[in-house]
Structure 1
Amino acid sequence: MKAKITQRSVEVAKAGAKPYEIRDTTLPGFLCRVQPSGRKSYVIEYARGRRMTIGNAAVLTPAQAREKAKEVLGQAAAGEDPGQERRRAKASTLRGFIEHEYRPWVRVHRKHGDAWCDVIMRVFASLADDPLASITQHKVEKVRTARLNAGIKPATVNRNVTCLRGALTHAVRSGYITEHPLADMASVDTDSSSKVRYLTADEARRLRAALQARDDEARTARVSANAWRKARSRPVLPAIPVGGYGDHLTPLVLVSLNTGARRGEMFSLEWPDVDFDLKQITIRGETSKKNRTRHVPLNAEALGALRQWRDQTGGQGLVFAGRGGERLDNVRKAWAGVLGDANITAFRWHDLRHTFASWLVMRGVDLNTVRELLGHGDIKMTLRYAHLAPQHKADAVAKLV
């Protein structure tokens, strides 16, 4: 709303269900913002999209706030950014920079931005109140060494430093510091190839058998339950067809195993993302880790599982939804039960993705194709599977003869 901002107009302004603003009719950009809580603040909009809070209306009079607003407008007219010094003051320390500058930016531009900021504040807590410009490679190295000595895995420590490195990169680009203190800091050496866990042929057979047994048990239980319901004139539940699934777990496992999709990508998969004609699924950018859309072909097992599941569920909304149609957040209990029945140990859900990649490499698929199917942004991530293709090394050495 528009009105001349006076003591009277501010006092009579009533709080509403949502925040609203009173824009002054005499000084452009000068306004009073009224919150649902009843708090009122004077604000000056000194450029398009740029504002500065002048103060609390319970402390300042309209005349005092108007004078401060004119000062800010004068600075803006002279080519200055009146809010810059205030922002720099708030972001002078690592903590201030993360909370007032980096977190708002990374929250919008990176999918896990908030989590990254939380990692920085937790891992580098000893540096949180240091001036941003005083952070050095030596200080970060001390934190890294202490974590390694505490038994933290090198890969985890590297990820921690990567989070901090990203924040400091933004600090350089934004002009808060002139040089990147970690520009020459190398990562801790890791042996990632030894950590790949994938299903052997026998384990895969046992896993499929355990899934089928689970579905058979659900089918038998459904028949028994419906007989009980009929005898009492109660509505029966949908029958589970022969070859069908007791719930979402089996098709979820089979599709994950044959596409290498991440758990979160599967939980967010919708039926329009499944193309039965082209025999592929689309992992949308907004649901992928790297914010990049990719298309993954479906082999016969994955395609058959999706067709059967579509026939059972109607093919609307999320492919693998919870009981109320909501997005799943985990399948821990059911997954642990199946692994126990299959006598498979030390195997995580993410290892289905490792299994997909490992099987491809062992069957002679080149690493770049595996990288594209997995959605890796860097071939370095895919190189962890290179040792599974020993024949390539043997062929190379044989050329010396």
Structure 2
Amino acid sequence: MIKLRTLSKKMPTKDEGIFYKEIVNENDKVVDKIFLIRYRENYSDKQMTIGKFSEGIRLEFCKAKRIEILNKIKHGEYVGKKYKITFYEVFKKYIQWAQNNKKTWKQDDNAFEFHFKELRNFDLRHLKPEVFESLKQKKLEQGYKPRTVQYILGLARQIINYAINNDLILNYTNPISKGKVKMPVYDNKQIGFLTKDQAKKLLETLKENKYPLSYRLTVLLLYSGARFSEVASLTWDDIDFNNRLIYFKSNKNGNDRKVYIPDVAMDVLNDLYNEKSSNFVIPSRNGKQLIQMPKQWQKTVDKLLPNNDKAGKYRITVHSLRHTHASWMAISGISILHIKEQLGHKKLDMTMRYSHLIPNERHESTQVIFDSL
């Protein structure tokens, strides 16, 4: 019986991507050859054996076969084993892009780790609209506000769009594209706010119950009027102790601005600085950026304020601390333009919700003028 063996060295042909290996006998004489083709599929080099010369395989047949395979790949038809790209693999590429293109990339990084644990290893093609509908309902049932759930779904949509736009996946429609998953509706005109007595009682309760994280966050949010995400992303470079100013960077939701630090907030910042373990002013336990208020905060507020959990859009929530700050400014007679600057609103109509709280000098002037006639 003649023993044949295939040499390992691949020999190139005159055509791109087509090779052959020589088959030799016991005397190392070439008696046949086997053709192979190479191509790229989903950014990976692939190789396919076509057949032997002795079986009638010729160069033209290999060339036609390779063109056929490349056309299939171009139109999203997988040639060999179906390529799997997970949601997490796409996210890793997305976050590398975001680090150079988004100021809020750290927020995206933390949100993915926190909210998409169950979807990390999903093949992207298995992420259908019903998967995100289920995620939406779950987050709402867990007590997350509609606007927060909008952000979660929006982040998923951005990640998948990145995969589509960069050809990480072919012939795939974003399952969260317009109309496929209905975004939860929120009322951004909510203006429930704390009275000064209620705010004082809340701070005292948090302090007495030894909730230092909730207490410190409440002070900084209440006395700065900033959004939670803005306070959570503060670093020590943003704190000017000498001039008693906090610098909030611009983002897609607001303008950059500097806010004065009152005594109570200054005391909190001094304590935090003395305990500094991270460049974040108020880091999470692992030194990263916080992504939400501690859960006991809302429980404390609901217990402190009768029927607060049934108050609907007027329920006092974390974001109400910002409304409280702005409302107190308006009640004190601060102009609407100064409130706009303090809150970092991009448009004046966002600030106008507080205008009815400002003492109406127009009415007083009208009274002086016309009552004397």
- Normalised by the length of structure 2, the TM-score is 0.50
Aligned twin of 1:249: 214
Identity fraction in percent: 22
Instruction: Write the mapping of 1:23-38 to structure 2, written as runs, cut at 5 A.
Output: none
CA deviation string 1:31-78 (max 9, x = no partner): xxxxxxxxxx9668xxxxxx99698533789x899969x99xxxxxxx
Instruction: Write the mapping of 1:1-400 to structure 2, written as runs, cut at 5 A.
Output: 56-58=46-48, 108=98, 193=189, 195-215=190-210, 247-285=212-250, 288-290=251-253, 293-311=256-274, 313-314=275-276, 316-340=278-302, 342-343=304-305, 345=308, 346-395=315-364
> Number of matched residues?
270
* Structure number with higher helix proportion: 1
Show structure 2 runs of 5+ residues with no match. Answer: 1-6, 19-36, 52-58, 77-86, 116-127, 134-145, 166-177, 179-185, 309-314
Matched residue of 1:322: which SS? Answer: coil
Task: Judge conservation of contact 1:290–1:377 (CA < 8 Å) in 2.
Answer: yes
Letter in 2 for 1:57: Q
- Normalised by the length of structure 1, the TM-score is 0.47
CA deviation string 1:279-335 (max 9, x = no partner): 1222345xx553864433222221222113323x14643222233434333333331
Over the residues paired in the alignment, what is the CA RMSD in angstroms?
5.9
Letter in 2 for 1:249: S
In 1: Cα distance, 2:10 partner to 2:217 partner: 59
CA deviation string 1:323-377 (max 9, x = no partner): 3434333333331343256336331111111111111122222223322322222
Letter in 1 for 2:270: R
Letter in 1 for 2:328: W
Q: Which structure has the larger Rg over C-alpha atoms?
A: 2
Matched residue of 1:58: which SS? Answer: strand
Aligned twin of 2:26: none
The 3 A distance-change label for structure 1 pair 306 and 52 is: closer
Show structure 1 runs of 5+ residues with no match. Answer: 1-6, 12-23, 31-40, 45-50, 72-81, 88-98, 126-154, 175-181, 183-189, 216-245
The 3 A distance-change label for structure 1 pair 121 and 283 is: farther
In 1: Cα distance, 2:61 partner to 2:220 partner: 62
Aligned twin of 1:136: none
Which stretches of structure 1, 4 residues or more, deviate above 4 A after TM superposition?
Answer: 7-11, 26-30, 41-44, 51-56, 63-68, 103-115, 120-125, 190-193, 395-400
Cα offset for 1:203? 0.9
The 3 A distance-change label for structure 1 pair 52 and 205 is: closer
Matched residue of 1:248: which SS? Answer: helix
Cα offset for 1:267? 2.3
